[in-house]
Chain A
Amino acid sequence: DIVMTQSPLSLPVTPGEPASISCRSSQSLLHRNGNNYLDWYLQKPGQSPQLLIYLGSNRASGVPDRFSGSGSGTYFTLEISRVEAEDVGVYYCMESLQTPKTFGQGTRLEIK
């Protein structure tokens, strides 16, 4: 199984400031079709996970443009250009290349 490693695990951020979360995979997530099978999810307190970014860099429907994803192969980054209070929660990366699909440990973003 592919192992996903996120950092940091805790991320205190001042509103209006940027934030960045990294995710490394134990195997390349680059498919021969040119897509990186790496997704980002946010689980807000008390809610189900919601898809933010798919295939490494594509924002899901309704996701604000302050969220962006980048990276290729085994290293990926989720960036929030200006953190807002509603961005609080746990962020997970997930590889969708193989079965079983595996998630990172999660990064808890909190507001300072």
Chain B
Amino acid sequence: EVQLAESGGGLVQPGGSLRLSCAASGFIFSDSWMTWVRQAPGKGLEWVANINEDGSDKYYLGSVKGRFTISRDNAKNSLYLQMNSVTTDDTAVYYCAKDALTANYPHWGQGTLVTVSS
């Protein structure tokens, strides 16, 4: 059974940094693209970033490019999102998701809440 478990969320001040993690199990992690999606409180879903199987290709939402970095450690079956220079607009629940070959997301984690506030 595919399982994804995010961690690392919390309260951070504007301009600060935070690193999110996603522990994966139940599938061959190194064979799968992985994605981060976020959801601001009471709002809709927003795709943030994705990364290919070996970490050599990365893509970002325009508003986070240059501030966020997606990475992975296939030896640890883990996905990461380094968030720098955060603003209040980055307040959201962050989900990690496993990409299917058909480019959609059949598996999601439970999410971790990031709150940016002074």
> A interface vs B, CB < 8 Å?
1, 35, 37, 39, 41, 43, 48-51, 54-55, 58, 60-61, 90, 92, 94, 96-97, 99-106
Contacts and interface: CB of A to CB of B under 8 A. Distances in A.
B11 interface: no
Contacts of A100: 47, 59-62
8 contacts: A39-B105, A48-B108, A48-B110, A49-B37, A51-B104, A54-B104, A92-B44, A94-B104
Q: Which 9 A-B pairs have the closest CB atoms?
A: A96-B103, A48-B108, A39-B104, A54-B104, A101-B47, A99-B59, A103-B45, A106-B44, A51-B106
Task: Give the secondary structure class of A's interface.
Answer: loop
Contacts of B47: 94, 100-103
B102 interface: yes
A41 B103 contact: no
Contacts of B46: 103
